[in-house]
Amino acid sequence: MSAERVTAVVVGAGHAGLAASYFLGDRSIDHVVLERGEVANSWRTERWDSLRLLTPNWQSRLPGLRYEGPDPDGYLTVPEVISLIERFAATTRAPVRTGVNVTSVRGSPDGYRVTTSHGEIDCRAVVIASGACNRPSVPALAGSVPGSVEQLTPFDYRDPAKLPDGGVLVVGASATGVQLAAEIQRSGRPVTLSVGEHVRLPRTYRGRDVLWWMDSSGVWDQRHDEVEDLTRARRLPSPQLVGTPERTTLDLNALAALGVQMVGRLAAVRDGRALFSGGLRNMFSLADLKMNRLLGTFDEWAHASGRDGEVGPVQRFSPTDVPAAPRLQLDLRSGEIGAIVWATGFRPDYGWLDVPVVDAKGHLRHDGGVVDSPGLYALGLPVLRRRRSTFICGIEDDARAVIDHLAGYLAIRG
């Protein structure tokens, strides 16, 4: 059977792939969007029940689509995110083919050959919008955890009622870790939270959502080629934030007040014991220092731009409390811990990409979304072009620029 031909193929129908489609359509570039599941598949299959966006509703903006509901300062639930993305796909009439798994993309004489569960497509350009969070990152030491302890990733976790009885060790204190730790502790299961490098933020600052500050002050608009240590910026953990109707702050002090026990970074599992590093004091003060530095940047911006009158007075928050004697080990065979939740981050999966553009650590080699192979592009990766790239509100500018480049490439190639 001969392969179908289109000019461009977009892999993935999350908000990033659909934004790529919007700008391809705008430039009349014929294309298809291939999606192995349904539109917004990651939100349908890989998120826990209580999750709400940590970005406020007014930031849930996509090309040609703005939040116009009654609660701009609220936070969308997962079903609401799914309907937002479905609405985007419908209003833009994106040429999405659902239930089509891309199993290989490889170079061909005039571009790329895309092999799918439904046949082959030849195209001149491919946009990789398959997501940055396809798999949970679980450290190798998970293999040494005794079999009596149930292990879950955020992809398996749905709600605390499905956990076994007993204590829960949550490993990782980024947005996922702190949100799950709070929910599990509230369900009556005692939580121990293993804390490594983390990003502390208050939910509101000087009366405004902290993400309003990120947005307005230009911090989130810092470009990838202006960031001092781009590799580090791309690996930065997500901030300790949760979206709740009460706009509560969910930092480590809030978790300690709920009764969550803090321990250091999980360093090893040996003879059935989880061993944690010391040094919580240093880790906490580093996170406090960075938060205060960021708040200082906001204050300077508010002053310099004459916005001081529009916001509340300058605030500073109490330092993170260091527990008097944090535990350095936990016996995982004692029955104290029934489950471990690995909130240790996510990584992309490029197992289907047969073009040599993935480095030894599994990251795509690209410059602002222009991948290291002519005609190959990427969207939706951390700090792809700007600090806001990974968020819904970052896709419009990124997708416009990446599709501009793609159109230029097609024009030159004739």
C-alpha span between 66 and 84 (Å, rounded)? 10
Find the binder of ligand FAD among 9, 16, 199, 371 (CB under 6 A). Answer: 16
Torsion of CA 228, 376, 390, 233, to 10 degrees: -20
Cβ within 8 Å of residue 206, ≥6 positions away = 213, 298, 302, 311, 312, 313, 314, 315
344 touches ligand FAD (CB under 6 A): no
42 touches ligand FAD (CB under 6 A): yes
Give per-residue burial for 128-156: e unless 16+ CB within 10 Å, then b: bbbbbbbbbebeeeeeebeeebbbbbbbe
Cβ within 8 Å of residue 42, ≥6 positions away = 14, 131, 133
22 touches ligand FAD (CB under 6 A): no
Q: How is residue 291 written in tokens? A: 């938060």
Q: Please check whether residue 105 is in contact with residue 354, taking contact to mean a CB–CB distance below 8 angstroms.
A: yes
Part in contact with ligand FAD (CB under 6 A); list of ranges 196-204, 247-255, 305-313, 390-398: 390-398
36 touches ligand FAD (CB under 6 A): yes
Beta carbon of residue 329, minimum distance to ligand FAD (angstroms, whole number): 30
176 touches ligand FAD (CB under 6 A): yes
12 touches ligand FAD (CB under 6 A): yes
Number of residues that bind ligand FAD (CB under 6 A): 30
371 touches ligand FAD (CB under 6 A): no
346 touches ligand FAD (CB under 6 A): yes
Instruction: State which amino acid sits at residue 348.
Output: P
Find the binder of ligand FAD among 123, 127, 129, 262 (CB under 6 A). Answer: 129
174 touches ligand FAD (CB under 6 A): no
C-alpha span between 144 and 137 (Å, rounded)? 16
23 touches ligand FAD (CB under 6 A): no
Part in contact with ligand FAD (CB under 6 A); list of ranges 31-39, 135-143, 315-323, 398-406: 31-39
Q: Please check whether residue 113 is in contact with residue 122, taking contact to mean a CB–CB distance below 8 angstroms.
A: yes
Per-residue binder mask for ligand FAD (CB under 6 A), 52-71, x = binder:
-xxx----------------
47 or 203, CB closer to ligand FAD?
A: 47
Specify which residues 122 forms β-bridges with: 5, 113
92 or 261, CB closer to ligand FAD?
A: 92
Contact set with ligand FAD (CB under 6 A): 11-17, 34-37, 41-42, 47, 53-55, 101-102, 129-131, 133, 176, 346, 352, 380, 390-392
